[in-house]
Amino acid sequence: MEDFVKSKIIISIVAVIIGIVALVLWGQKTHAVDIVSPKEVFDRAQRDSNVVLIDVRTEEEYNGDLGHVAGTILIPVQQLDQRANELDKYKDRIIIAICRSGNRSGKAAELLSHRGFTALNMEGGMLQWNRDKLPVIRDTTR
C-alpha cells in the first residue's frame, strides 16, 4: 500500500512538471514568418503596389558593394523596434524585410509580425539577390 501511495505522488509530481514545461513552451512560441526568394520579391514588387520593401542593414551596407533594391525603406534592424511606428501606415500591406544574407531580415520580419504587421523574410538577402542578377542601385560616387 505504501508503494502505491509513493507511485501516485511521483506520478502527480511528474504531471505537474510536464504541465509547467508545456505552459512555459507555449508562452514562448514564436511568430514564424514566411520566406520568399529574391525572384519572388522582385516579381511581387513589380506587379503588386501592396508590397513594401524594408532594408534592415546599416546605412553603410545599404550604400555598399551589394547595393540595394530600388524603392526600399532603410531602417536598420538595431533601430527597428524604436522606429516601427514609422511603418504603421503600411499595416494593411505586405512588408518584405531584406538584409545581407536573410538572417537579420528574419528577425525584423518576426518583430514586425509580433507588432501586427504581415511581414515576410527575403531568403538569402542581397547576397542572393546579386547572385540572381536582379537589378540593384549602387552608390557610384564611391
Which pTM value belongs to this model?
0.77
User: What is the extent of the structural domain holding 8?
Assistant: 1-30
Band the pLDDT of 132: cuts 50, 70, 90.
very high
Which triple of cell numbers denotes residue 110?
518576426
pLDDT of residue 133: 98
Residues 98 and 54 in one domain: yes
Minimal CA–CA distance to 104: which of 133, 80, 136? 80
How many domains does the chain divide into? 2
Do 21 and 47 sit in the same domain of this protein?
no
Report if residue 4 sits inside a domain: yes
Across 50-67, average pLDDT: 97
**Which grid cell sits at 47?**
506587379
Inter-residue contact 122 to 36 (CB < 8 Å):
yes
Task: List the one residue out of 76, 75, 64 whose CA is nearest residue 136.
Answer: 64
Distance in angstroms (rounded) separating the CA atoms of residues 126 and 119: 17
CATH of the domain at 43: 3.40.250.10
Measuring CA to CA, which residue among 53, 67, 39, 72 is closest to residue 137? 67
Categorize the per-residue pLDDT at 29 as very low, low, confident or very high, splitting at 50, 70 and 90: very low
Residues found in the chain: 142
Is residue 134 within 8 Å of residue 38, measured between CB atoms? yes
How many Cβ atoms from other residues are within 10 Å of residue 77's Cβ?
Answer: 20
